[in-house]
Amino acid sequence: MKKKYYPPLIVLLLFVVAIGGSWLGIFNEYWQLVLLFMGINIILTVSLNLINGHMGEFSCGHAGFMAVGAYVAGILTVWLFADDKVFGPPVLPAAWAIPLFPVALILGAIAASLVGLLIAIPSFRTRGDYLAIVTLAVNYIIKSAIENMEFIGGPRGFVGMKRVMNNMADVFDVPWLLIWTFVGMIVTILIIRNFTASTLGKGVKAIREDEIASELMSVDTRRVKIIAFMLSCGLAGLAGGLFAHWPGGFINPGTFTILKSTEVMVMVYLGGMGSISGSIISAVGFTLLLELLRPLGLFKWVVIPLLLVVMMLRRPTGILGNKELTDVFPRLRAFFGSEEESYALASD
Amino acid sequence: MPLLQINNLTHYFGGLRAVYDYNLTLEEGEIVGLIGPNGAGKTTIFNLVTGAYKPSEGEVRLNGDELVGLRPHQITAKGIARTFQTIRLWNDLTVFDNICIAHAARIKYGVVDSILHGERYREEEQEIKERAMELLAVFGLDGDAQELAKNMPYGAQRRVEIARALATEPRLLLLDEPAAGMNPGEIGELMEFIHQIREDFDLTIWIIEHQMRVIMNICERIKVIDFGQTIAEGTPEEIQNNPKVIEAYLGEEVF
């Protein structure tokens, strides 16, 4: 079978354009910010789609897990690499921030995925509306917990990440945050794509179709649910860790409310449930739309929901439904054909 | 040792006694029928044996291993597979995926391998895919592998369901009204088919069926239940002439 090299090439090209353009200043700070949010939104949407799309559960607390990742990664980097009035002088020299920054992101993701266990357990017993209420509650619990932790700023928020990013830029001047966001985005897409393509991961779709039949047909539904929730929440934590280091330099609990969760859900349903490429398209499109409609000011929040209503009336399954871009345009297979499909063809 | 041994199986739904003191011994290679009027508790017995319900009392042993208390997927992994009275395929997945996913119990690679797609993952997945295609070929479904399950004709969906059950590599196959909704021609094919898979896959078959033509034709032994209790047991001829059975069916001319 002929090995296809196109996807890595396309990724490399995007990387060069996004990061190179930002580094050379072709994209100004505003567009760099848009690129950053695009990347973070892709991570959030693709990861939530594993639960709400592929598995057909209804989790609406994604922002809560994002908050866990944001605070854990943010506190770690500030404690280690920045002069802070709560955590004192930096523990490690600034140069160490460069290799250890992704480690802080991963630790944030692990913390978020452990909290994800919290919603995996009620999901054994409840589905649909009930699970939605449980996840909503988890979102509120996390937000209130952070608001009541005075040592990390409570409701006022947590600052200091800007100093970490400045220190990293002083050592070596490249757009570090954009680079790691890009890497995080690719890793997220690969994790979700590979997992859902495996027989173990297809158990997620079987649960969506018929949970009882899945359990009776040898799918360990509890294990599959735990894996799916931990993966999804962990990746939300990764997105949070990246977001914590945005140029604004602060995070506060008010960012991670049910509104943020709703925004992610909107992107999932806009793109199509269970479609990875749909999630990517809708995350990019939605981020751009928010920026394009910025001149409308407050009316933005009239136009966007209206667009959603029209969308749901005209195309209730989202942009791509549960299909991938390669299903809609088979010619794209020449570029993005996966190893799985080659297997299936080889065994015919 | 018998393949399946059920002792004193009893189950209550609240105050309703659905199954009472049910006993059964299945020897390797048998085809045994389970019949009874509507609501007699037939499907409940299947649900108890496969772990979908936890019995109030009694024990179920497969090759001497106690099954009560195990979760359904663990029981399936030990070698009991079933089909459903109303078809329960994973409708929005392809026929091929329906068969592949039923191999879940045999997967040895872990979560990390499922994401990194290492050497071991590739080998196991390749094996699953080959076995799934072989199985589909046996059922004459290999041409429809990439079709969505919900788009298959009714009779074919029944076959996909049996193929999916066999993908779990069972020793004992429970068929819950496999002939429901089939026309006489399809029923004839089904009976031949059941005989064939018993030979090819070395199966023991336990079957619930309302079509007496099927039951009388393929079963070596029949148990009749009514109101959760066994009322008769024997060969098809003995059952046909048993007054209790005729009474249970309220004199309907079923035979």
Considering only residues 308 to 327 of chain A, which have any Cβ-Cβ distance to chain B shorter than 8 Å? 322
Q: Does a structural domain hold residue A323?
A: no
User: Does the pLDDT of residue A183 top 80, yes or no?
Assistant: yes
Q: How many Å lie between the alpha carbon of A274 and the closest alpha carbon of chain B?
A: 11
User: Does the pLDDT of residue A280 top 90, yes or no?
Assistant: yes
**Per-residue pLDDT reduced to its tens digit, A66-75:** 999 999 999 9
Interatomic CA distance for residues B102 and A115, integer angstroms: 30
Inter-chain CB proximity B115 and A194 less than 8 Å? yes
Interatomic CA distance for residues B229 and B22, integer angstroms: 7
Substitution target in B43, B74, B90 with the highest count of A β-carbons within 10 Å is: B90
Inter-chain CB proximity B100 and A344 less than 8 Å? no
Identify the bridge partners of residue B165 per DSSP, sorted by sequence position.
Answer: none
Average pLDDT on A189-194 reads: 96
Considering only residues 16 to 75 of chain B, which have any Cβ-Cβ distance to chain A shorter than 8 Å? 50-52, 71-73
HSE toward the beta carbon, residue B128, CA cutoff 13 A: 27
Q: Does a structural domain hold residue A226?
A: yes
User: Does the pLDDT of residue B169 top 60, yes or no?
Assistant: yes
Whether residue A341 lies within 8 A of chain B, CB to CB, comes out as no
What single-letter amino acid sits at A11? V
**Per-residue pLDDT reduced to its tens digit, A213-237:** 999 999 999 999 999 999 999 999 9
Inter-chain CB proximity B107 and A344 less than 8 Å? no
Q: Tell me, letter by letter, the H, E, C secondary structure of chain B.
A: CCCEEEEEEEEEECCEEEEEEEEEEECCCCEEEEECCCCCCHHHHHHHHCCCCCCCEEEEEECCEECCCCCHHHHHHHCEEECCCCCCCCCCCEHHHHHHHCCHHHCCCCHHHHHHCCHHHHHHHHHHHHHHHHHHHHCCCHHHCCCEHHHCCHHHHHHHHHHHHHHCCCCEEEEECCCCCCCHHHHHHHHHHHHHHHHHHCCEEEEECCCHHHHHHHCCEEEEEECCEEEEEECHHHHHCCHHHHHHCCCCCCC
Q: Looking at the partner chain, which of B76, B115, B129 has a beta carbon nearest the beta carbon of A343? A: B129
Interatomic CA distance for residues A84 and A87, integer angstroms: 5
Strand, coil or helix: what is A43?
helix
Whether residue A217 lies within 8 A of chain B, CB to CB, comes out as yes
Q: How many Å lie between the alpha carbon of B53 and the closest alpha carbon of chain A?
A: 11
Average pLDDT on B133-141 reads: 93
> In this prediction, what percent of chain B has a pLDDT beyond 90?
75
Whether residue A125 lies within 8 A of chain B, CB to CB, comes out as no
Question: How sure is the predictor about A336, in pLDDT bands with cuts at 50, 70 and 90?
Answer: low
Greater model confidence, A347 or B85? B85
Phi and psi at residue A304, in whole multiples of 5°?
-65, -50
**Per-residue pLDDT reduced to its tens digit, A90-104:** 888 888 889 999 999
Structural domain range at position A234 = 6-258
pLDDT at A345: 36
Mean pLDDT is lowest, of A17-31, A188-202, B78-92, for A17-31
Phi and psi at residue B182, in whole multiples of 5°?
-95, 150
pLDDT at A344: 37
Interatomic CA distance for residues A236 and A116, integer angstroms: 10
Average pLDDT on A17-39 reads: 90
Whether residue A29 lies within 8 A of chain B, CB to CB, comes out as no
Inter-chain CB proximity A203 and B88 less than 8 Å? no
Q: How many Å lie between the alpha carbon of A23 and the closest alpha carbon of chain B?
A: 31
**Per-residue pLDDT reduced to its tens digit, A326-335:** 888 877 776 6
Structural domain tally of chain A?
1
Phi and psi at residue B83, in whole multiples of 5°?
-115, 170
Domain edges within chain B: 1-79+170-255, 91-157
Type and span of the H or E element at A232: helix A221-244
Inter-chain CB proximity B91 and A322 less than 8 Å? no
Closest CA to A164 of A67, A96, A63: A96
Average pLDDT on A117-145 reads: 88
Interatomic CA distance for residues A311 and A315, integer angstroms: 5
Q: How many Å lie between the alpha carbon of A333 and the closest alpha carbon of chain B?
A: 16
Interatomic CA distance for residues A203 and A215, integer angstroms: 9
What single-letter amino acid sits at B227? F
Which chain A residues are Cβ-neighbours of B115 within 8 angstroms?
190-191, 194-195, 198
Inter-chain CB proximity A217 and B164 less than 8 Å? yes
Inter-chain CB proximity B102 and A218 less than 8 Å? yes
Provide the CATH number for the domain around residue A89: 1.10.3470
Whether residue A221 lies within 8 A of chain B, CB to CB, comes out as yes
Average pLDDT on A73-95 reads: 87
Substitution target in B43, B67, B87, B101 with the highest count of A β-carbons within 10 Å is: B101
Class of domain B1-79+170-255: alpha beta
Q: Looking at the partner chain, which of B73, B111, B124 has a beta carbon nearest the beta carbon of A215? A: B73
Inter-chain CB proximity A198 and B92 less than 8 Å? no
Residues B48, B60 contacting (CB under 8 angstroms): yes
Q: Looking at the partner chain, which of A194, A202, A214 has a beta carbon nearest the beta carbon of B97? A: A202
State which residue of chain A sits closest to B142, comparing Cα positions: A348
Whether residue B82 lies within 8 A of chain A, CB to CB, comes out as yes
Q: Does a structural domain hold residue A338?
A: no
User: Does the pLDDT of residue A340 top 50, yes or no?
Assistant: no
Whether residue A124 lies within 8 A of chain B, CB to CB, comes out as no
Strand, coil or helix: what is A250?
strand
Whether residue A339 lies within 8 A of chain B, CB to CB, comes out as yes
> How many beta-carbon pairs below 8 A join chains A and B?
112
Closest CA to A49 of A255, A267, A214: A267
Average pLDDT on A325-348 reads: 58
Inter-chain CB proximity B92 and A339 less than 8 Å? no
Average pLDDT on A159-176 reads: 90
